[in-house]
Structure 1
Amino acid sequence: MPVDRRHLFKGAAAGACVAAIGSSPLALATLAQAQAFGETVPFSRDKMIVAARALAAKPFVDRREEIPEALRTMDHQAYAAMRASDPWPVPLSSENRFFFEALLAGFVFNQPVDLWLVTGDQAQRVLFDRSTFTFNPPADEIAPEENIPFSGFRLSTHINSPDKLDEFAVFQGASYFRAVGAAENYGLSARGLAIDTGQPTGEEFPVFRSFWIERPQEGAKAVVVNAILDSPSTTGAYRITVRPGDATVTDVELTLFPRRDITTIGFAPFSSMFLFGSVNRSDFDDYRNAVHDSDGLSIYTGAGEWLWRPLSNPSRLQVSAFVDTTPRGFGLVQRKRKYRDYEDVGARFELRPTAWVEPIGDWQSGAVVLFEIPSRREYNDNIVVYWQPNAPVKAGEPFELTYRIHWNADAPTVASGPRVINTRIGRNEFDTRELFVIDYAMRGHSVDDVEVSVQSSAGKIVNLASYPTPDQDTLRVSFELDPDGESLIELRVQLKVADDQPAEQWLYRWTT
């Protein structure tokens, strides 16, 4: 089912972070123990890994019951009425470059998280202080007087202007986190890990139990966030380095300690939203031209091919696997970047970021897996993508992986040849076949010297044509599909230009 969580990040109420870790000295702490304000413990990356390994030797404990019922059952209006006040946000460094704000638990944010601020090799626990939050109606009558747990935190800096603090990352909800570059708004979300997505047994959502945020040294350009991940299937030690800028970059280093063999596991997972665009505009009675956080999946394969798959909002669940070895990158892209592409003054979809994964090291063989889930509401995250290795993660065997996420207006590197800028789908003029119209930005290549080929897994391709449009440097490819009785057909369009520069290959799954 699509997950209704997107609006929760809009004007989210102030909150806080409380999480716990492994064995002494980073012992798992109960909420009651966390009442000792300012508790300080030794800290290092090695201790985090030891703590995660020790936690894996114990049964998983669901900590949601630590959240008072009044917070778990409050609605969004009440949650939004709990707001941070002075001294939030607090500076992380002496030069006040980076600021930190804890986020309270409540509503759907029902996983308690322990927060620690790290200075050198010492970590100090962050605890709830009611005087630093404002509780407006109706939260004033609902929220407990003491010991409200935290659910995450946000980071801010002067990313757009030296006179204004701008939020550039937020960690809140299970293992979800988001980031933006300069002049961008939040859109799609990353996750620490995906387990059993789409399986009949149901998806397992790992959670970050604790965060250890390192205070940056003077002149630092990044914030380092350490975290312990936990779920019934695995624990993990994460180190996430966040560098804000025109493109904000997050480096993710993870070490898992599986409690069981995990066959269906997704690394570098993202959740996004695609309601409608030029591939399915006629399905929605809406004043806007398009509604989506991402409009395509881009993949840079180990063989050096660039693939572009326009996203869709199908009538039934669609799962696609793009098999690869040592992938060079993949991501969910928001390619349409003009206000008139959407005409939504409030949502400003044109400012939503692209998230591009750059694998570090050899990821060996596996597949980029894409889930497209039917949805009728723009508040549902109905798009999921991740990398799934062929080899399962084995119980008792530590598993390490490193990757980089670029949060930017586009993928950091794109094919040097033509690339897809728009896909339109509709019926032909006689209402007898499906018509596909694909526009390519030629990027300096001649539209007069291009070979176009179309492959289909079934059916027949009819009336293939290619021609320039009135827009400068744009080639249009059109063709009709005769399904010939088939209900699912995989399509591929390939362009070959005279100088052999690689063009994006257009992929699409057509279904009835």
Structure 2
Amino acid sequence: MWIWRVFLLASLALFVPAAFAQAFHFDELTRIARERAAAPYVEPSSQLPPTLAALDYDGLRDIRFRPARALWRDAGSPFEAMFFHLGKYAPQPVLVNEVAPDGTVRHLPYLRTDFDYGRNAVDPDSWGDLGFAGFRVHYPLNNDAYKDELVVFLGASYFRALGAGQQYGLSARGLALDTVGGSGEEFPRFSEFWLERPAPGAKELVIHALLESPRATGAYRFVLQPGSSTALQVRARVFLRQGVPPVATLGIAPLTSMYLFGENQPRARDFRPEVHDSDGLMVATTGGEWLWRPLVHPKSVLVNSFQVDGLRGFGLMQRDRQFANYEDVEARYERRPSAWVRPLGDWGPGRVELVQLPIPDETHDNVVAYWVPERLPAPGEPLDLAYELSWQGDDQQRPPSGWAVQSRQGFGYVRDAAAVAGQTQFLVDFTGPSLAALGPEAPVRPVASADANGLIEEQNAYFNPATRTWRMQLRVRAIDPAQPIELRAFLQHGNDSLTETWTHIILPDAAR
């Protein structure tokens, strides 16, 4: 076994904590990110001890962090941190450090005594300082008697958080590179973290992270503020490397989610009406327009872009929050959070890109959304951005006037089926303050448009007395059935826009 220990020490020579000549601060982390962007990329080691690498899913689940060993457990802080063990499904180690109030840094080593290995026949004492797969932060989010999981950083640059009463769903990432438009997607990873020790009674926690990949590095600062909507204040300085090939699509504040089926795309032989972590993309522009794009499950890769001169916010949202619309007592999709990205400062022109993929079942993520700036920074030039990422539940970001609450596709009984052959019908229900202020007989009308491949055969709007919402009906025909149709529509009263702009893509039958 001594041979393994010698190999491990050699591999860790490439995996050492970033050195700080003075008290830790974000500018010093920026310096490290800039220097590493100018140097050749070093692939992280993923060599595991053979007995650890041999553990299957159940064996790894049997390794548990001991809560009594949680960081800050006896410090009087409402926050605690616990750590994830390395294994075949998370083989690349990350370094974790604690930053004291005076700015001094202490490396947090992997200790076998921090973990319960259950029934596994392993010898962790021989493994040395493996590092961790990631960590999670606990906080009394729902009541004072128990510290719930609040945020998790695990795998590449993925992380996810919760507000009160929520259940894990979609994830966020530090950065997305060439998800589409390049030679292949690259997954930057957080290689090292610095957790600032919280004071007793603290209401927020500060986390720093170093991001690295073959074509980018980044310095990140997260300020975690738990609540009914948990917020992460994110500051990022990203540096592109002189890479080959160069980065084609730089995705800022990427969100990753799952959409399998829903009201607009029901699934036969499944008792559940809907299965998704998010049901739509919302985009707000600095010009005052709000866009809503219901998600779909395509048969092949589907990419849509929403070009704007200025961004007020975007997010993958879970608007539908009624249990009866999911009927899943285990997954509880109605409790999955929405994630709303609000730029802090002017991000300039660019586009929100939405990528949707086919998946076999709900255990796979298939939706990605991110911001793409119009101009890429030159290699070594910092891209300095700040934003707030909110994990929202029932009380979530909505347009100020009106918004879509459901989008259904299809026909009911039709007396003359031939009259609607080749058409697609949508029924979209809207609600909101601007609509609630109107009487049922108000002259509300839809304003709908299609691209050059679509003919709108019928459009109308009427009050729905059952739900006290307003329903829009659209019937559309494709000029070329083999091509998609882009739709846009909103409700209007007089010269006043009453709702967000509902947008949808009608895919050819072969792609649906």
Matched AA of 1:225:
I
What whole-Å deviation, never above 9, does each CA across 1:362-394 have from its counterpart, x for those lacking one?
Answer: 100100000011112101110000000110121
2:459–2:473 CA contact under 8 A, matched in 1: yes
What whole-Å deviation, never above 9, does each CA across 1:404-430 have from its counterpart, x for those lacking one?
Answer: 101111675422222100001124632
2:57 alignment counterpart: 76
Q: 2:479 aligns with which of 467, 484, 487?
A: 484
Q: CA deviation at 1:501?
A: 5.4
1:71–1:142 CA contact under 8 A, matched in 2: no
Q: CA deviation at 1:279?
A: 1.0
Q: CA deviation at 1:484?
A: 2.8
SS of structure 2 residue aligned to 1:182:
coil
1:453–1:494 CA contact under 8 A, matched in 2: yes
Question: Residue 402 in 1 paired to residue 386 in 2?
Answer: yes
Structure 2 gaps of 5+ residues are 1-9
Structure 1 CA distance for aligned equivalents of residues 67 and 146 of structure 2: 17
Question: Residue 505 in 1 paired to residue 487 in 2?
Answer: no
Q: 2:94 aligns with which of 107, 110, 113?
A: 113
Number of residue-to-residue matches in the alignment: 480
Q: 2:77 aligns with which of 86, 96, 100?
A: 96
Q: How does 1:25-424 map to 2 (within 5 A)?
A: 31=12, 42-68=23-49, 70-72=51-53, 74-91=55-72, 94-120=75-101, 121-137=103-119, 139-141=120-122, 145-147=126-128, 148-199=130-181, 201-260=183-242, 261-282=246-267, 284-409=268-393, 412-424=396-408
Structure 1 CA distance for aligned equivalents of residues 312 and 220 of structure 2: 22
Q: CA deviation at 1:64?
A: 3.4
Which one has the largest radius of gyration?
Answer: 2
TM-score scaled to structure 2, two decimals? Answer: 0.88
Closer/same/farther in 2, CA of residues 42 and 72 from structure 1, 3 Å limit: farther
1:453 alignment counterpart: 447
Closer/same/farther in 2, CA of residues 133 and 468 from structure 1, 3 Å limit: same
Matched AA of 2:346:
D
Q: CA deviation at 1:134?
A: 1.1
Closer/same/farther in 2, CA of residues 86 and 362 from structure 1, 3 Å limit: closer
Structure 2 CA distance for aligned equivalents of residues 502 and 168 of structure 1: 37
Structure 2 CA distance for aligned equivalents of residues 160 and 359 of structure 1: 28
Structure 2 CA distance for aligned equivalents of residues 349 and 49 of structure 1: 39
2:6 alignment counterpart: none
1:495 alignment counterpart: 491
Closer/same/farther in 2, CA of residues 202 and 332 from structure 1, 3 Å limit: same
Matched AA of 1:465:
N
More displaced 10-residue stretch of structure 1: 413-422 or 396-405: 413-422
Structure 1 gaps of 5+ residues are 1-28
Q: CA deviation at 1:95?
A: 2.3
Q: CA deviation at 1:107?
A: 2.9
Structure 2 CA distance for aligned equivalents of residues 162 and 254 of structure 1: 33
Matched AA of 2:480:
G
Structure 2 CA distance for aligned equivalents of residues 452 and 157 of structure 1: 47
Structure 2 CA distance for aligned equivalents of residues 143 and 198 of structure 1: 42
Matched AA of 1:280:
Q
Matched AA of 1:415:
P
More displaced 10-residue stretch of structure 1: 52-61 or 219-228: 52-61
What whole-Å deviation, never above 9, does each CA across 1:280-327 have from its counterpart, x for those lacking one?
Answer: 104x42110100000000111121011110000011111000001220
What whole-Å deviation, never above 9, does each CA across 1:13-49 have from its counterpart, x for those lacking one?
Answer: xxxxxxxxxxxxxxxx96369899xx99852222211
More displaced 10-residue stretch of structure 1: 149-158 or 467-476: 467-476
1:369–1:387 CA contact under 8 A, matched in 2: yes
1:20 alignment counterpart: none
What whole-Å deviation, never above 9, does each CA across 1:50-108 have from its counterpart, x for those lacking one?
Answer: 22122222211111334445545543222211111252333278322111101111132
What whole-Å deviation, never above 9, does each CA across 1:432-481 have from its counterpart, x for those lacking one?
Answer: 22221101114313242312121111222123222222334301111222
TM-score scaled to structure 1, two decimals? Answer: 0.88
1:418–1:445 CA contact under 8 A, matched in 2: no
1:11 alignment counterpart: none
Closer/same/farther in 2, CA of residues 68 and 206 from structure 1, 3 Å limit: farther
Structure 2 CA distance for aligned equivalents of residues 111 and 494 of structure 1: 48
Question: Residue 437 in 1 paired to residue 427 in 2?
Answer: yes
SS of structure 2 residue aligned to 1:340:
helix
1:23 alignment counterpart: none
Q: CA deviation at 1:262?
A: 2.9
| Aligned-residue RMSD, C-alpha | 2.4
SS of structure 2 residue aligned to 1:198:
coil
Matched AA of 2:222:
I
